[in-house]
Structure 1
Amino acid sequence: MEPTNKEALSFEEMEVHEKAAFDDVIRPKDCYAADGTYWADLPLSQRISFCLEQDRTEASKEFSWLWTEFKKDPLSPVAHYFRNFVLPGAGLGLEGYVLFSIGNNTALFDASFKDCWKGKTCDKNWVSAISYMEVVGIIVGQILVGYLGDAIGRRWGLIQDAAIMFVGLLMLVAAWGLTENGWVICYAWSLFFYSIGVGGEYPMTATIGMENGYGSGKLVTSQDRLHRGRSVVGAFMMQGWGQFANQAILIILLLIFHHGTGALPISTTATQWTYRVSFAIPAVGTAWLVYYRTYHMKAASNQLEATKKKASVTGYDTESLKLTFRHFTPRVIATAGGWFANDVFFYGNKLFQGKFIKVISPASGNDVTTNWLWNLANIGVSLAGYYFATWFVDTKLYGRKWMQIVGFLMCFILFVIPAFKFEYYQEPAHIHSFQAMYFLSSFFNQFGPNCITFLVAAECFPTPIRGTAHGISAAAGKVGALIIAIIGSYTTTQQQFYIVPWFGLAGVLVTWLFLPDTTGLDLREQERRWRFIREGREQDYHGPAVHSKHLSVWERWTGKGKHYDANLDYKMKVEEFRAEWEAAVAARGEEQTLYDMDDVDENILHGSMHNYFERTSPEIRGMRKEVEPVSLPAAAAYSEDQKTLGEQ
């Protein structure tokens, strides 16, 4: 091997336009100030100004684009919304429709099959098992499909989920028995099977929403940094629209099959038609989802496959799982613990509803649709929370972590107030305050932990085990839902109000201590850090992923951020680009394909970066170069030394 020409590799020979090209990639303007300072390193006042200016600029761009598209075609923005949010979240929309229907159907069954639901003609254990088997099925799906999605690929996980949900819906529509108890047993097992598919939707939708926004190469786009959270939360929001659609359709169907009213008594025939048709409708959409994922999502596993190929891994990456628990256990505690606390609130929210409806609408016990209409209003408030979360989740001054902390804190306050003034807020004179707290708790649950737990459970972990980590976190949430359901069976509403609020404080503590803030952090940068960890060189990584802004309090205490060095990271990235360029050029010369398309961005093979590497590198084929550290120049566009560089 020929000796390395160290003078040829010096940054002193970098032309101004070459330095500018590297700055555009390594120090993008949406993350770095004019002088090359990372936004989180700026003094507080400058940081606020930088973030606000960036938000204004981005909002202006998007509104300008929206208006331009609208003038071309008024339906173009609608088509954009459909492609970017409705299609990616279609599975969650369908499962939100069906699962929300289970609770609504229970009220309908209780009104039409009183003897069965009160345990006279049916086994009480099986009646109770309906809700339990739903939750258990979801937990099984979350863990199982999360694992399979990492082992066999995202695409097959997505197809499998849709197929299971489709078959499960057919089973729910056709559920029958020789006796009422036999029908309940068949209904419960059908729901369990369907729920396995539902559980799998959580890790699969989150990971595909995350990974579709970027490739695995090092040249990045602002889309990932500025809008990754919006892409994932926007897809998750379809769950809320599914719930809204279900409630509206159930009301319409009951009015159709029950002579235009929801008043009791309701015949068993009207109930059977209502619930079976309500399940048949999403079955059509789910059949389409199987087709769409089979024939139009063939690239869904590309990112995972590229990552595995780099690490020379086939099948499930067990080593990455071990390393994740070794290095990221606090993050697992944050995502699983936060989701657990959130689901206690999500299902505990129903504690409010029955109380204020009885006071505001005394005749509600004689009309099923009264409760359903209040449900519809609550879902509308929740949807507002979803949209607020979508708009603010990528805002650097607020972002994921603060949104979750504030959401948990507001839920705690809104539950603890009526807990200690329970009788007071049930009085007719104060019931509207009780009602307001109910709606506000729904809003802040969505504009807070419910959306953020879904996002960060995928975002905080590396690609090879992202599905598994998300599945474990989501399953912990369902355990919380199961526990609050069991507690509810043995306690009064007043006692439940004493219990639930403290999970909000626990959520605040877990989030503050263990959850890192990934707002504004490029996902590829996290993957780059993971590569160093996997190679046993964690201490050699010096990039933004170990900046104190993007680490949890616990990680800071344990010294994870001590290796952060922006200048050293810049030099390392240049040499990493050089190594990729040399390998790609050598492979082209030998007509070999050493990298997938996503692995090497074509931009480093053309333009100023290519010219720099070509000019400063000696013969590259068959060579492996060792590069000594070199001095780092300031950011190109704004450096005082730029003139000197130009003169040279």
Structure 2
Amino acid sequence: MAIAVLDALDNARTQWYHVTAIMIAGMGFFTDAYDLFCISTISKLLGRLYFYQPGSQKPGKLPKNVNNFVTGVALVGTLAGQLFFGWLGDKLGRKKVYGVTLVLMVICAICSGLSFGSSPRAVMGTLCFFRFWLGFGIGGDYPLSATIMSEYANKKTRGAFIAAVFAMQGVGIIFAGLVSMVVSKIFLMNDNAPAYKGDDFHNVLSAQPQADFMWRTVLMLGALPAILTFYWRMKMPETGRYTALIKGKADQAAMDMGQVLDIEIDADRDKLAQFKAANNYSLLSQEFWARHGMHLIGTSTTWFLLDIAFYSQNLTQKDIFPAIGLIKKEPQMNALREVYETSRAMFITALLGTFPGYWFTVVLIEKLGRFIIQLVGFFMMSMFMLIIGLKYDYLKEENNRLFALLYGLTFFFANFGPNSTTFVLPAELFPTRVRSTCHAISAASGKAGAMIGAFGIQSYTLSGNTKKIRKAMLILAATNMIGFFCTFLVSETKGRSLEEISGEDGGESGNQTTSIPAGRLSFSRQQGNRRPSDAVQGQ
């Protein structure tokens, strides 16, 4: 059932507004990554400033439970935000909700830097409160950005466009390290105070006021890209697919898309009613689960398993870096110097390991396909983590360069692999009516995995104990291998329209199809979609 507005979008040549949409949506992901990962560069500093024990010769350290909440509470907020805004995006439209997430991110990033309190735990409590709501706003960006980009793109470059939006996460991680490094260096040049003096909370802060300003500055700078993006995000029209298929306004969809894309679109109103009637089923309906249930299980499990490994790696960098010699081991190191060393190591790892993987995916996803990239990524991550786990003592003590190379390669294949494809696939596999919600469920499953990484795996690595780090790597290797096998629950989507993939067009999707006599259902084994045959539709 071809509808002109959808056909025009699927076959539109790549043009400047596609690039603009990538930049607008991508800047949201840049902000997301910066806000989520900059906490890793300053968490040790928070311990030194707020949990120094009077009279102790050792630097202060965040208690385990406080550290877990400071670094992980934004992930809890992200999970809740994904589910809420993903559902809202299907109910109210993508555009109406899109600006709300940015406003929330701006306010909470600024407030995180202004965290206040009369005691260390009060300051940390305020910080956690605002970072939860910061994560809530970040969560909304996941389903909305992916859905908007998938519904704007043409079918030949859709995967590359969605992956390019997500690749801005890599840029955000780089800037989280770079900004922390630059800001700490600036404050470090003007800081002549000793590491600590005095016996109480306020005296410790007065010993290094520059350090207290430093971490607040890093957090508040996360509001800047969101502020710069807001105007352009509000100028974007609603996606043509949502306006036509959900609102039923083909004329409006044609007009909106004609204003931003150089294409001619016929309204084609006559087919919309038939199209909507054939796809008017809810997420909880038996028909949805018959058509798409296996796909939703596949996208959710793979993202869940991937994020256990990915966020464990990113959030525990500050503990891995000393072990592989990327930062110096100096117990009496100045607090700001420690931030500088940690953020520099994070910057180098992201630039050489994390960042290239994202863009390899952008370049190759339409050639290799989502399925192959995800399988290879999971497998290679598992192998590298297995080697690190089995040979940890040797690598740590005798071959730091090889250790750093293997650690960097796990990041590369996470991003040239499931970290990118688990974002792309849920934006393509599901029908327009529930696309944002299904992406949100998949993404929220990922954040559940991220919380296991933040609250669970970090418990193993927080002390820097080599046995615990080795055990964590072996657990993550097994987790990635399970993700490899769960990938077989999803299917390839490259080169086809969204309606063909989801079965909304009423035709058979996939290459291998079993036909059942008239009056019954036809079933596509590859896609797992069940839909009425022509004979049933005609009854």
Give the TM-score taking structure 2 as reference length: 0.78
- 1:387 is the counterpart of 2:359: yes
Change (3 A) 1:142 1:511: same
Partner of 1:111: 48
Residue 422 (structure 1) aligns with:
392
Question: Partners in 1 of 2:46 and 2:67 — Cα distance?
Answer: 10
1:26 is displaced (CA, Å) by: 13
User: Are the counterparts in 2 of residues 146 and 203 from structure 1 also a CA contact under 8 Å?
Assistant: yes
Instruction: Name stretches of at least 5 consecutive residues in structure 1 with no aligned partner.
Output: 1-21, 32-60, 66-78, 214-223, 533-540, 550-554, 569-625, 627-648
**1:433 positional shift:** 1.4
Tell whether the 8 Å contact from 1:142 to 1:201 is kept in structure 2 after alignment: yes
Tell me, what secondary structure is at the counterpart of 2:496? coil
1:360 to 325, 336, 346: 325
Instruction: Provide the residue aligned with 2:258 in structure 1.
Output: none
Question: What letter corresponds to residue 360 of structure 2 in structure 1?
Answer: F
1:432 is the counterpart of 2:401: yes
SS in 1 for 2:38: helix
Contact 1:165 1:194 in 2 (8 A): yes
Aligned counterpart in structure 2 of residue 332 of structure 1, from 282, 296, 306? 296
Matches within 5 A, 1:78-477: 83-115=20-52, 125-213=65-153, 224-259=154-189, 265=195, 268-294=208-234, 296-297=235-236, 299-308=237-246, 309=248, 310=272, 319=282, 321-322=284-285, 323-350=287-314, 354-355=319-320, 357-360=322-325, 363-365=328-330, 366=333, 367-368=337-338, 369-380=340-351, 381-395=353-367, 398-428=368-398, 430-477=399-446
Contact 1:547 1:561 in 2 (8 A): no
CA drift at 1:373 = 1.3
Unaligned runs of 5+ in 2: 197-206, 249-271, 461-467, 514-522
Q: Is 1:510 equivalent to 2:486 in the alignment? A: yes
Q: CA deviation at 1:274?
A: 1.5
Distance in 1 between residues matched to 2:288 and 2:530, nearest whole Å: 20
> Are the equivalent residues in 1 in contact too, given 2:68–2:455 (CA < 8 A)?
no
Q: Are the counterparts in 1 of residues 72 and 451 from structure 2 also a CA contact under 8 Å?
A: yes
State the number of aligned residues.
467
Q: Which structure has the greater CA radius of gyration?
A: 1
Task: Note the C-alpha offset of 1:128.
Answer: 3.2
Q: 1:558 to 1:283 in 2, by over 3 A?
A: closer
Q: Distance in 1 between matches of 2:494 and 2:148?
A: 18
Task: Supply the RMSD in Å over aligned alpha carbons.
Answer: 3.7
SS in 1 for 2:402: helix
Are the equivalent residues in 1 in contact too, given 2:41–2:318 (CA < 8 A)?
no
> 1:89 is paired with a residue of what secondary structure?
helix
Q: For residues 275 and 180 of structure 1, do their structure 2 counterparts lie closer, same or farther at Cα, with a shift above 3 Å needed?
A: same
Provide Cα deviations, 1:572-631, integer angstroms capped at 9, x if missing partner: xxxxxxxxxxxxxxxxxxxxxxxxxxxxxxxxxxxxxxxxxxxxxxxxxxxxxx9xxxxx
TM-score, with length taken from structure 1: 0.65
Query: Once the 2 structures are TM-superposed, how far is the Cα of residue 525 of structure 1 from its aligned partner?
Result: 2.3
Distance between the aligned counterparts of 2:433 and 2:531, measured in 1? 24
Give the deviation of 1:447 after TM superposition: 0.4
| Cα distance in structure 2, aligned partners of 1:470 and 1:89 | 17
Q: Residue 287 and residue 321 in structure 1: after superposition, are their counterparts in 2 closer, same or farther (change >3 A)?
A: farther
Identity %: 24
What secondary structure, in the 3-state scheme, does the structure 2 residue paired with 1:225 have?
A: coil
Relative to structure 1, the CA distance from residue 127 to residue 559 in structure 2 (aligned partners, 3 Å threshold; closer, same or farther) is closer
Q: Does 1:530 align with 2:500?
A: no
2:76 and 2:123 mapped to 1: Cα distance? 20
For 1:375, the aligned partner's letter is: M
- Mapped contact 1:353–1:438 kept (Cα < 8 A): no
Contact (CA 8 Å) 2:354, 2:415: kept in 1 or not?
Answer: yes
Q: SS state of the match for residue 366, structure 2?
A: coil
Report the Cα distance in structure 2 between the residues aligned to 1:262 and 1:509, rounded to whole angstroms: 55
